[in-house]
């Protein structure tokens, strides 16, 4: 699969852009475990053109992450175009437009999936952004605003016509948020539309190697994007690739192995953000690594309250020792984002 001049190989696996999740330390791990392409946390166009530090820092990308995209969101065309020009200077491999975020404070302003209530504006914004940069522009969106407005087949054609190089579709409407089951049938309809020639990337509910293979085979998508299933499980990319290559699941990670991964994640978080902030922002990840462990409440509390690197490493060593040989139930939702 190619996005412009970016060759991602056959049936690539992409890490979805997620606020407060896909920071450099998490991206580092996902890349190590086989993510073929990644994205930054999504960037507020208004904040970026105001030079807000919280937005500027999200433009920091590293050579080991490539290929990588910067995702932008906003509801004002002029602001999005200007933000695109600024983001282009950070030299990502592509610019992605967020027309999919369902969060109320974003969608109700007309940004993210809120743009699906104004398709002509969505298309015009995309056209102007494509014309504002020399690098490939892609879009991530949903099936529609609600069950009565699933216009994704027509939307896909219009976005392709104004020049996007790939389209990611989450198989839910904005009204669904993340509830219910993702409907991949309409994603398949877009892919099978003879008018479409750009890559179509499917997204939604890919939480196992079997599900990934099923969606590739059943709907013919060019790639799969994985979001929430990576929480506490950045190795899911490796699991899926192993299954696609060998037809069987790889051995599950032991608690000791997960402790080693959590330690590396913590180290990278502090390396990129400094000890204090690195630890604070790791708290949402640490307990996710150990979901499914019995009688874990006390250790979980210590993991999310300690602000000392040495103490955190000591706690993680206790986890490894206490649960040696235990295989956690990974089907249990990681509570911080469930």
23: CATH = 3.20.20.70
For residue 89, the SS3 value is: helix
So what's the pLDDT on residue 292? Answer: 84
Does residue 236 sit in the same domain as residue 260?
no
Provide the domain count of the chain.
Answer: 2
Does residue 194 sit in the same domain as residue 55?
yes
Q: Name the β-bridge partners of 44.
A: 73
So what's the pLDDT on residue 76? Answer: 95
Torsion angle (degrees, nearest 10) of CA 81, 69, 191, 106? -60
Does residue 325 sit in the same domain as residue 201?
no
Residues 6+ apart with CB under 8 A from 309: 266, 270, 275, 279
Residues 6+ apart with CB under 8 A from 159: 122, 123, 126, 139, 167
73, 48 contact by CB (below 8 A): no
Domain boundary residue, one of 216, 246, 276? 246
From the list 209, 284, 255, 235, the residue with the least C-alpha distance to 32 is 235
Give residue for tokens 């309809």: 189
So what's the pLDDT on residue 177? Answer: 87
So what's the pLDDT on residue 287? Answer: 83
Does residue 94 sit in the same domain as residue 207?
yes
101 flagged as catalytic: yes
Q: What's the domain range around 128?
A: 2-246
Q: Which among 30, 55, 84, 101 is annotated as catalytic?
A: 101
Does residue 42 sit in the same domain as residue 184?
yes
Does residue 218 sit in the same domain as residue 283?
no
So what's the pLDDT on residue 187? Answer: 97
Output the pTM of the full model: 0.93
138, 165 contact by CB (below 8 A): yes
Residues of the chain with pLDDT under 70: 328-338
Does residue 82 sit in the same domain as residue 134?
yes
Does residue 15 sit in the same domain as residue 162?
yes
Does residue 275 sit in the same domain as residue 146?
no
How many other C-beta atoms can be found within 10 angstroms of the C-beta atom of residue 197?
A: 8
Angle between helices 236-246 and 209-219 in degrees, nearest 10: 60
The alpha carbon of residue 284 and the mean position of all alpha carbons in its chain are separated, in whole angstroms, by: 16
Residues 6+ apart with CB under 8 A from 31: 38, 64, 65
Domain boundary residue, one of 246, 267, 299? 246
Does residue 230 sit in the same domain as residue 316?
no
So what's the pLDDT on residue 258? Answer: 94
């Amino acid at each position: 699969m190619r996005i412009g001049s970016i060759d991602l190989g056959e049936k690539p696996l992409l890490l979805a852009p997620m606020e407060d999740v896909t920071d450099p330390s998490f991206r580092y791990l996902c890349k190590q475990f086989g993510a073929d392409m990644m994205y930054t946390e999504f960037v507020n166009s208004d904040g970026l053109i105001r030079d807000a530090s919280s937005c500027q820092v999200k433009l920091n990308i590293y050579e080991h992450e490539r290929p990588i995209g910067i995702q932008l969101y906003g509801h004002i065309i002029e602001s999005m175009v200007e933000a695109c020009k600024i983001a282009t200077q950070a030299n990502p491999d592509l610019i992605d437009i967020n027309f999919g975020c369902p969060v109320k404070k974003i969608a109700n302003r007309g940004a993210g999936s809120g743009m699906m209530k104004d398709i002509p504006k969505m298309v015009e914004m995309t056209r102007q952004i494509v014309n504002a940069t020399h690098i490939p522009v892609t879009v991530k969106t949903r099936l529609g605003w609600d069950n009565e407005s699933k216009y994704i087949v027509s939307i896909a054609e219009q976005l392709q016509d104004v020049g996007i190089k790939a389209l990611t579709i989450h198989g839910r409407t904005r009204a669904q948020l993340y509830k219910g089951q993702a409907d991949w049938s309409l994603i398949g309809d877009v892919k099978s539309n003879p008018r479409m020639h750009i890559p179509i990337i499917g997204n939604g509910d890919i939480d196992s190697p079997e599900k990934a293979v099923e969606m590739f085979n059943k709907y013919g998508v060019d790639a799969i994007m994985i979001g929430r299933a990576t929480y506490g499980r950045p190795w899911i990319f490796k699991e899926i690739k192993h299954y696609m290559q060998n037809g069987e699941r790889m051995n599950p990670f032991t608690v000791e192995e997960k402790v080693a991964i959590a330690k590396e994640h913590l180290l990278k978080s502090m390396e990129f953000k400094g000890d204090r902030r690195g630890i604070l922002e790791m708290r949402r990840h640490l307990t996710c690594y150990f979901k499914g462990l019995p009688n874990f409440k006390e250790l979980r509390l210590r993991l999310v309250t300690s602000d000392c690197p040495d103490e955190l490493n000591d706690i993680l060593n206790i986890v490894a020792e206490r649960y040696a040989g235990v295989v956690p139930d990974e089907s249990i939702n990681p509570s911080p984002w469930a």
